[in-house]
Chains A and B, each alone.
Chain A
């Protein structure tokens, strides 16, 4: 869809929402709006696209209580704001919009989470990603390093970049909007998406990318939308195996979950953001045991998170049940950098080659 088409679609759908409210009130009804329930109890596996999307559970918000009425009022203010932004061809960051809401009196946001959540609601209702509203996140994407060439439209014209030869030590920074990137060619066998910057740097320093023809992606913790979209596009364009390498704790499994299956918060965009073919490389609870890694005790919060994952449909596989139960039994977690206890080369010379061989990648 072209930029203009996207914007037109956004405007039309948002105005439809407002018109529906207008008509409701005109006929003496309380304004209301229906949205899919955005919890783990309402995500379903879509066989066709192999990602998790929202199911058909809907919750109706009607303005009969102060809380719901305020929510609808805020939505109305945001719609008016986007309408103006599109008309004036301007854009703002999510954080800027949060600050702009300061002047909206009763409709102002209490926290940025609230405004982000509301924008996601509007994405769901309009089926337009937030770029169509001229809203973008303030954080830049993570970085990527490896034998691949891309072409990007920049303010200084089209640029073609090789993600090893033409970039600095830290790699190529993934832009907010990945849609404008063209994937030229590559010489890679697989992609490793890494949770922590320390491990990403370790692999670059040890020359892992050159030795194994690997593309390295730094996830920077829970990956931003643009990072996930990047992985999705690499996977669909070049059909390369995507491997996720994180810490060995419940929060890191959620990182893998959002890369592979889609996040619960953005399940409406799973098709664009999730990479169903992504595989979990490690750190598995069984690695903690088998490699006898230095570890910390699980906190109560960790255990609670692990238990919650056992009821999460995205983790309802034998593989995850076995690993999570093993971890609860052991009561331990480890960071990926714990491999350093066995020497700085251990991870690139031993652990990764062993795991990749076992997984049939090399």
Chain B
């Protein structure tokens, strides 16, 4: 571009400056809704509920109460939905309410270094803004901080030009809850994402086994019950680690202190002692007795650089992170997905760029999981399910990088079959790929931990499957021998026109066990217990079905009835190579169980199946 004369450039700059004005955060987000997860009306519902639920769970955790969260979504007009989220948390003091809901980037946890769900304080106020933009309706907040305090009801909007709360109504309110918060937001949306929403709540319930969710979706209601009565320990905030700090935050910290440099470093940062602080000052060429708030910009930069170079022990991780725990992950998964196998791993704490983090993972297999197609992937960051951008997430990439074939699973990128994989990354600073917090960025330290956890679980799964296959094989054999061979014998004897050949010798030869058979023919139920082992079988047989077996020969030693189901109990000793049997009138079915003998020495065969 040709150079303009200096005077002209000055005039132009002056003109341009007149047109420029600062835009408020609120205005910025109005134009960049996708950054916050409001890119479509469908997604807006999930994002809103997600933000409100995150806040509720965090608040309950801080107040050490077991969360009871109520969620309701109702259509109130064409394309307009009313969303209510109500919790039993500690409530919010009336003075704060307008700021929490009516000002973007306002949050109590923004500067704290510990594991929390919400972090930036954008979330719920973004939903307020979104409601205001689409339905024009204010957000209604009711909150109460304790039995002695009155509840307050607010109607709030955001002043878009200034990013300040606009309080339309503020009044005391009769509320039956003694503490808690209720948010009501109305905006334009659709319920196209109902399935995804329930999925989100289900996943949230898996990693928050101490919480109960009640959901009302128009006329349907769902409950996700809690499986743990233990309040989770609220993570404790720690000081920032010298290796995990950026210039902006560093500047704010120096500006806010009146300590001398040496003390500032020791007090303000974790794992910095006097010796390390002195080393840092020496490296930066600064005196430790300087006032920290009097540093020039260049001195700040030099000190920050020095802090990165000095070796500092990793930050403490045990208190600032709150793992779910292997046991609770298993219980949470068991509750929501009926599976044959669940294993979970909590990896030891680790650190990336000065930020403590920890990986937990779980694998579920079989049961009611779909037998075909890709594995179900559950991704979590700080106990929050990640619902979108699965393909862009480091967790997905790690799962694809594990060689699942080595654990006898089929794999096409993702493992296939009736498999569920859960990965939870907890950190004081979860590295997301974008502000909508949908996907975790690729950080080698985190990826390594994820892969290690998954490989460990893969081995466990493989053991389970091979053990189960072995049992299956044995059962399969027993079925063939005890049920099908007798039928072959019947048919073959008929073809060759000879007397029915007895197949019990085959059974005995093959099984060397106690075989219990139950068969129903022509209204007669037969129980037959053949002892092919070399030991006396001291057995108790439990036959549970709708038949009362009143005419059984021999009679049952004990019969009890419950809800029309009769439990018949026979006790007997069956010497080796002998067969015991009883017969009664009935329809059969139900369960036959044999006790008093090792599992691997007995086989129960239901011939009616």
Interface of A toward B, CB cutoff 8 Å? 15, 18-19, 21-22, 25-26, 28-31, 63-70, 72-73, 76-77, 79-80, 83, 106-107
Residues from chain A with a CB closer than 8 A to the CB of B509 are: 28
Residues from chain A with a CB closer than 8 A to the CB of B480 are: 63-66, 68-70
Is B484's CB under 8 angstroms from A77's CB? no
Complex Cα distance, B487 from A77, in Å, reads 10
Complex Cα distance, B492 from A28, in Å, reads 15
Residues from chain A with a CB closer than 8 A to the CB of B506 are: 25, 28-30
Is B485's CB under 8 angstroms from A25's CB? yes
A68 to chain B, nearest CB (A): 7
Question: B490-506: which residues lie under 8 A (CB-CB) from chain A?
Answer: 491-496, 498, 501, 503, 505-506
- Size of the chain B interface, CB-CB below 8 angstroms: 24
Residues from chain B with a CB closer than 8 A to the CB of A67 are: 476
Subset of 14 A-B contacts with CB under 8 Å: A18-B496, A22-B493, A22-B496, A28-B505, A29-B506, A30-B510, A31-B485, A63-B480, A63-B481, A66-B479, A68-B480, A69-B485, A70-B480, A72-B488
Is B501's CB under 8 angstroms from A64's CB? no
Is A18's CB under 8 angstroms from B510's CB? no
Is B476's CB under 8 angstroms from A63's CB? no
Is A80's CB under 8 angstroms from B494's CB? yes
Is B495's CB under 8 angstroms from A64's CB? no
Is A21's CB under 8 angstroms from B492's CB? yes
Is A106's CB under 8 angstroms from B492's CB? no
Contacts A65-B480, A68-B480, A69-B480 given: A83-B495 contact, CB under 8 Å?
yes
- B475: nearest residue on chain A (CB-CB)? A66
Is A73's CB under 8 angstroms from B501's CB? no
Q: Contacting A63 at CB < 8 Å: which of B473, B485, B496?
A: B485
B86 to chain A, nearest CB (A): 54
- B507: nearest residue on chain A (CB-CB)? A28
Is B494's CB under 8 angstroms from A69's CB? no
Q: Is the interface of A mostly helix, strand, loop or mixed?
A: helix
- A105: nearest residue on chain B (CB-CB)? B487
A250 to chain B, nearest CB (A): 25
Complex Cα distance, B492 from A83, in Å, reads 12
Is B485's CB under 8 angstroms from A22's CB? no
Complex Cα distance, B503 from A66, in Å, reads 16
Complex Cα distance, B496 from A26, in Å, reads 13
Residues from chain B with a CB closer than 8 A to the CB of A25 are: 485, 488-489, 492, 501, 503, 506
Contacts A28-B506, A30-B510, A65-B477 given: A73-B484 contact, CB under 8 Å?
yes
Is B484's CB under 8 angstroms from A22's CB? no
Residues from chain A with a CB closer than 8 A to the CB of B492 are: 18, 21-22, 25, 31, 76
Residues from chain A with a CB closer than 8 A to the CB of B488 are: 21, 25, 31, 63, 69, 72-73, 76
Complex Cα distance, B503 from A68, in Å, reads 17
Question: B210-254: which residues lie under 8 A (CB-CB) from chain A?
Answer: none
Complex Cα distance, B488 from A21, in Å, reads 9
Residues from chain A with a CB closer than 8 A to the CB of B493 are: 22
Is A64's CB under 8 angstroms from B481's CB? yes
- B491: nearest residue on chain A (CB-CB)? A76
Complex Cα distance, B485 from A65, in Å, reads 10
- B489: nearest residue on chain A (CB-CB)? A25
Complex Cα distance, B482 from A64, in Å, reads 10
Residues from chain B with a CB closer than 8 A to the CB of A76 are: 488, 491-492, 495
Q: Contacting B495 at CB < 8 Å: which of A28, A68, A79?
A: A79
Is B484's CB under 8 angstroms from A106's CB? yes
Residues from chain A with a CB closer than 8 A to the CB of B498 are: 22
Complex Cα distance, B501 from A157, in Å, reads 49
Residues from chain A with a CB closer than 8 A to the CB of B501 are: 22, 25-26
Complex Cα distance, B481 from A25, in Å, reads 11
- A76: nearest residue on chain B (CB-CB)? B491
Q: Mark B172-185, 1 if CB is under 8 A from A, else 0.
A: 00000000000000
B511 to chain A, nearest CB (A): 11
Residues from chain A with a CB closer than 8 A to the CB of B496 are: 15, 18-19, 22
Contacts A18-B496, A64-B477, A76-B492 given: A69-B503 contact, CB under 8 Å?
no
